[in-house]
């Protein structure tokens, strides 16, 4: 959603890298480019004005004028101001002192409330709660049935005593659900309400009646992130008419310009609490303003990536794999290779995972063109092998390759390529375990890691400052020039010039160009 905005901002900061010091003209030109980028992203005009004013004021301050690399400082300022307009700190759910906690979902028809109720239910269940979804949308055709299907997929309970399709009293259903939740020991009630195609008095009154009947602990306004500035107008009208405590952004994976996400928290004064970024029930999580700002500025989102990895990989499995690699490369088999691939696949789309890495905006076209089915084809090839072949791939000769290719429905060349990539991957992982790839540290706690660290410390020791004042001044000037010509954080190399180690290229099997 934020690709266009990210590209414009990246281009703006790239122009600053060659500046040793920023003049007033540089600051004005940068502010103008950022203003255009935000307006093109459909950010509300009042938000843009306050954002640019804050950036310009801070850019003229001492934190930039005294900096060795002004581009880094301006990027830091923009990042902090972006976090501010996105809501600042992460907003957590408030839970009732005496269960059940009541969460009411409201918003326009088509915003994705019913699907989001299932996503929120599954998210709460994964957090250790016992949620109950309540069907109070009795107007929209099949809304009750849809909530039942979504609840079944999410593995959570549903309360739907009325058939819907225009039949039943939603206020009465909401009241009854609270007592039902207490009886069945559900600690959270998620109330799905009806919407309309636009704001009208009937919808407002029904939402207000349900609010008064159940006294929700949280009222979440669900807004479609793809509808632009109208999302802000709708949120303001609903805030004034019924009131809400937080915002949930749905369809954040769309190709719209994303102005609603950057505007709604600042305009309404209510923070974004959750974001839905896909069609699957797992494509839902708490909204972190700092992580979203990092994504927009192509600085990655490593914290989310780590959290997803922690959910998928167990500590015991990681230690077992590390121990195998420490013994030698031959201990790592195709069964282990398959297991690792399946674990990564559980984390989600490969394209989304790569998009969380810093600097990946430079190659987003290649990332978007990745074929997710390659993992399935690789798994099919490995599963078509015998246990002996998976344990020792060196025994796979021409006749075995033909049999495996026939069993997995691929060409013989694909089997040969997979085996070659496996050997390269095994060699690479063994190097990382025993001391690291060039420019990469070894795995902590494994043989070679301490040796690698000592070698790096010795190398760093050799770069001490000279005792000669003239030579030391020259060294400091050269270091400042290298930082000024570096990337967003003073990196010596830009992502587009970065070369992957040969083992990584061989493992990928395809030329990224």
CATH number of the domain that residue 279 is part of: 3.40.50.300
What Rg do the C-alpha atoms of the chain give, in angstroms?
Answer: 27
Residues 27, 25: Cα–Cα separation, whole Å: 5
Strand partners, 164: 167
pLDDT tens readout for residues 32-56:
888 888 887 778 788 888 888 888 8
Residues 251, 230: Cα–Cα separation, whole Å: 15
Strands, DSSP E only, in 59-154?
Answer: 101-106, 131-136
CATH label of the domain that carries residue 65: 1.20.120.140
Residues 296, 294: Cα–Cα separation, whole Å: 5
Q: For residue 351, what pLDDT is reported?
A: 64
Do 348 and 284 reside in the same domain of the chain? no
pLDDT tens readout for residues 194-243:
877 667 777 788 888 999 999 999 999 888 877 766 777 788 888 887 88
**Residues 44, 250, 54: CA angle, nearest 5 degrees:** 30
Task: Place 474 in a pLDDT band, splitting at 50, 70 and 90.
Answer: low
- Cα dihedral across residues 490, 495, 497, 501: positive or negative: positive
Q: For residue 133, what pLDDT is reported?
A: 94
Picking from 400, 420, 445, the residue at the C-terminal end of a domain is: 445
- Mean pLDDT for the chain overall: 75
Do 207 and 245 reside in the same domain of the chain? yes
Alpha helices in 60-112 (DSSP H): 62-65, 70-85
Residues 143, 135: Cα–Cα separation, whole Å: 8
Strand partners, 102: 189
Residue 189: is its pLDDT beyond 90? Answer: yes
Q: For residue 364, what pLDDT is reported?
A: 56
Residues 43, 37: Cα–Cα separation, whole Å: 9
State the burial class of residue 67 (Cβ atoms within 10 Å of its Cβ: 0-12, 13-18, 19+). middle
CB 159 within 8 A of CB 144: no
Do 181 and 138 reside in the same domain of the chain? yes
Residue with tokens 């990946």: 360
Residues 60, 74: Cα–Cα separation, whole Å: 10
Give the DSSP per-residue string, 31-69: HHHHHHHHHHTT--HHHHHHHHHHHHHHHTSHHHHT-S-
Q: For residue 494, what pLDDT is reported?
A: 43
Highest averaged pLDDT of the listed ranges 139-153, 275-289, 426-440? 139-153
64 falls within a domain: yes
Residue with tokens 């905006």: 361
398 falls within a domain: yes
Nearest to 87 by CA among 290, 236, 234: 290
Residues 450, 442: Cα–Cα separation, whole Å: 8
119 falls within a domain: yes
Q: For residue 82, what pLDDT is reported?
A: 84
- Higher-confidence residue of 340 and 28: namely 28
Do 134 and 281 reside in the same domain of the chain? yes
Q: Is 223 helix (H, G, I), strand (E, B) or coil?
A: strand
Domain count, the chain: 3
Do 153 and 63 reside in the same domain of the chain? no
Q: For residue 504, what pLDDT is reported?
A: 44
Task: Place 438 in a pLDDT band, splitting at 50, 70 and 90.
Answer: very low
CB 219 within 8 A of CB 113: no
pLDDT tens readout for residues 66-106:
655 667 777 788 888 888 888 878 888 889 988 899 999 98
Q: For residue 443, what pLDDT is reported?
A: 39
Span 325-335, mean pLDDT?
71
| Cis ω before 75 (30° cut-off from 0) | no
92 falls within a domain: no
Task: Place 460 in a pLDDT band, splitting at 50, 70 and 90.
Answer: very low
Do 389 and 248 reside in the same domain of the chain? no
Do 282 and 348 reside in the same domain of the chain? no
Residues 182, 164: Cα–Cα separation, whole Å: 24
State the burial class of residue 461 (Cβ atoms within 10 Å of its Cβ: 0-12, 13-18, 19+). exposed
Residue with tokens 């940068």: 30
Span 109-113, mean pLDDT?
82
Inter-axis angle of helices 45-59 and 24-40, nearest 10: 160
CATH label of the domain that carries residue 320: 1.10.260.30
Percent of the chain at pLDDT above 90?
Answer: 15
Strands, DSSP E only, in 160-242?
Answer: 188-193, 218-224
Do 142 and 197 reside in the same domain of the chain? yes
Do 269 and 339 reside in the same domain of the chain? no
Span 353-367, mean pLDDT?
59
Do 321 and 232 reside in the same domain of the chain? no
Print the domain residue range for 430. Answer: 314-445
pLDDT tens readout for residues 483-498:
544 433 334 334 444 4
Residues 79, 48: Cα–Cα separation, whole Å: 14
Q: For residue 356, what pLDDT is reported?
A: 59
| Cis ω before 100 (30° cut-off from 0) | yes
CB 55 within 8 A of CB 26: no
- Higher-confidence residue of 254 and 507: namely 254
């Amino acid at each position: 959603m934020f690709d266009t905005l990210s590209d414009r901002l990246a281009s703006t900061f790239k122009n600053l890298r060659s500046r040793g010091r920023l003049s007033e003209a540089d600051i004005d030109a940068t502010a103008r480019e950022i203003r255009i980028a935000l307006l093109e992203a459909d950010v509300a005009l009042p938000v843009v004005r306050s954002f640019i004013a804050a950036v310009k004021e801070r850019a003229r301050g001492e934190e930039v004028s005294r900096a060795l690399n002004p581009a880094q400082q301006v990027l830091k300022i923009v990042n902090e101001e972006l976090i501010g307009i996105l809501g600042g700190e992460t907003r957590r759910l408030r839970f009732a002192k005496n269960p059940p906690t009541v969460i009411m979902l409201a918003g326009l028809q088509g915003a994705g409330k019913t699907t989001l109720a299932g996503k929120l239910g599954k998210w709460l269940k994964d957090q250790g709660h016992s949620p109950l979804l309540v069907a109070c949308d009795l107007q929209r055709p099949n809304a009750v049935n849809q909530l039942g299907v979504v609840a079944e997929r999410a593995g959570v309970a549903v309360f739907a005593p009325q058939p819907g399709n225009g039949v039943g009293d939603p206020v009465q259903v909401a009241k009854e659900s609270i007592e039902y939740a207490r009886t069945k020991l559900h600690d959270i009630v998620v109330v799905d309400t009806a919407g309309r195609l636009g704001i009208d008095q009937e919808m407002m009154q029904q939402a207000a009646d349900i609010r008064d009947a159940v006294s929700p602990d949280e009222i979440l306004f669900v807004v479609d992130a793809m509808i632009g500035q109208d999302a802000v107008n709708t949120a303001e009208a609903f805030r004034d008419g019924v009131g809400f405590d937080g915002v949930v952004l749905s369809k954040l994976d769309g190709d719209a310009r994303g102005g609603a996400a950057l505007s709604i928290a600042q305009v309404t004064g209510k923070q974004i609490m959750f974001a839905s970024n896909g069609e699957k029930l797992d494509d839902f999580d708490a909204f972190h303003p700092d992580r979203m700002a990092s994504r927009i500025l192509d600085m990655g989102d490593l914290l989310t990536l780590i959290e997803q990895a922690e959910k998928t990989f167990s500590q015991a499995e990681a230690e077992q794999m590390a121990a195998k690699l420490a013994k030698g490369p031959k201990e790592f088999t195709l069964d282990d290779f398959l297991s690792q691939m399946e674990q990564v696949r559980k984390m989600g789309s490969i394209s989304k995972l790569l998009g969380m890495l810093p600097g990946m905006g430079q190659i987003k076209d290649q990332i978007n063109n990745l074929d997710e089915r390659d993992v399935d084809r690789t798994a099919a090839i490995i599963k078509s092998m015998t246990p002996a072949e998976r344990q020792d791939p060196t025994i796979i000769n021409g006749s075995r390759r033909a049999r495996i290719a026939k069993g997995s429905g691929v060409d013989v060349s694909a089997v040969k390529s997979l085996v070659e990539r496996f050997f390269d991957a095994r060699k690479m992982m063994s190097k990382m375990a025993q001391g690291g790839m060039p420019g990469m540290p070894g795995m902590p706690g494994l043989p070679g890691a301490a040796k690698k660290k000592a070698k790096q410390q010795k190398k760093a020791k050799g770069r001490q400052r000279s005792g000669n004042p003239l030579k030391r001044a020259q060294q400091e000037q050269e270091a400042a020039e290298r930082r000024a010509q570096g990337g967003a954080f003073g990196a010596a190399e830009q992502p587009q010039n970065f070369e992957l180690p040969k083992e990584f290229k061989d493992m990928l099997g395809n030329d990224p160009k």
